[in-house]
Structure 1
Amino acid sequence: MRIAISGKSGCGNTTVSKLVADALGFTMINFTFRTLSEEKGIEFWTFCKQAEQTDEYDLEVDRRQVEMAMAQEHCVLGSRLAIWMLKDADLKIYLTASSEERARRITEREGGSLSERMEQTQRRDANDSKRYLRLYGIDNSDTSIADLVIDTSQLGPEQVADLIIAEVHKRDKH
């Protein structure tokens, strides 16, 4: 079984993907812009700015994620575009949260001021959405492709993971 989990920054993709993968004994695949920026030795926000000028980073991240997922029999792929890019996923989950909650979580994780993170998050969302539409014709706010949409604003990561795991078990019985 391959599970794809997507959502915008701060929705809990990485944390929830790891919890689900660990609970099910699946391989977790979370190759992201952040991973590639670290591989290339480029500071993350500088990397994001560079990505606005070239398609190579998006294409590399997306290609490598799908290759990694397809090499596994059982995995959880957590990324912004997982539910669209991993077409053969058995379960597609989209996580949402209010922009305020996402900015709060990012501030907790990365530091800085809430207002600064709110502005960065909104700018990143707009830039990401524009790129995904241009590169792939994907509207990353259209959740109709997802099997399950979960608003994580008022839920802890364990609660979100439990909802996904329950869905996996429900599907396993069929």
Structure 2
Amino acid sequence: MRITVSGPPGSGTTSLAKAIAEKYGIRLVSAGDVFRQNAAERNMDLLSFSKLCESDPSVDKKIDADQKKIGEENSDIIIEGRLAGHMVSNADLRIWVLASADCRAHRISDREEISYEIARHDTDIREKSECDRYMKYYGIDIRDLSIYDLVISSEKWGKEELAQVVDFAIGRINR
């Protein structure tokens, strides 16, 4: 079973992907973790690293190619990342998690221990950068949710409720 979990920063994709991976005992690969690790290895914050990606497409394309390869060549895996649903062509279930920009900025503010204003500003810039890069590199409009099998709000429901909905969807796939 190959599952992709995608959504904007702070929407809860990582929490949901971890809950699914734990319940089903399957491997989780997070593109966001890889992105953050690459930024840290270069001693850069996420905004600076995003700017580097804008000027050097090879950085993004390497992360995306790795995500695609891992997702398509392994079974019993969850790939979590903004482009995961587009990259893993043989996914059994593609999920998009959404929440308002306000909700997500509050979550990021709490998680990263920064002000709401900084979280909102940085997230808006990062999302614009990603949106532009995905369109430029792959012709993908990240705002087009039509490829997803399940689009669900993490603002309305918590992690446990989201996991229950996904569990139901997985049960229908495995019939």
- Tell me if TM exceeds 0.5: yes
Residue 31 (structure 1) aligns with:
31
> Once superposed, what is the RMSD of the aligned Cα atoms?
1.3
Q: Which digits, 9 at most, give the CA deviation of each residue in 1:75-123, with x for residues without a partner?
A: 1100000111111101001111000001011011101110111111111
* Identity across the alignment (%): 32
TM-score when normalising by structure 1: 0.94
Q: Report matched runs for 1:9-158 at 5 Å.
A: 9-32=9-32, 33-158=35-160
- 2: CA distance, partners of 1:152 / 1:158: 10
- 2: CA distance, partners of 1:15 / 1:39: 24
- 2: CA distance, partners of 1:158 / 1:63: 31
- 1: CA distance, partners of 2:106 / 2:58: 30
**Equivalent position SS for 1:20:** helix
Q: Does the Cα contact within 8 Å between 1:93 and 1:147 map onto a contact in 2? A: yes
- 2: CA distance, partners of 1:43 / 1:19: 27
Q: Does the Cα contact within 8 Å between 2:47 and 2:126 map onto a contact in 1? A: no
Gap change, CA 1:56 and 1:167, over 3 Å in 2: same
Please state if 1:6 is matched with 2:6.
yes
Shift of 1:65: 1.1
- 1: CA distance, partners of 2:132 / 2:100: 20
Q: Does the Cα contact within 8 Å between 1:31 and 1:64 map onto a contact in 2? A: no
- 2: CA distance, partners of 1:42 / 1:116: 17
- 2: CA distance, partners of 1:22 / 1:87: 23
Tell me the amino acid that sits aligned with residue 4 of structure 2: A
Q: Which runs of 5+ in 2 are unaligned?
A: none
- 1: CA distance, partners of 2:116 / 2:42: 28
Q: Which runs of 5+ in 1 are unaligned?
A: none
Shift of 1:41: 4.3
Q: Does the Cα contact within 8 Å between 1:16 and 1:157 map onto a contact in 2? A: yes
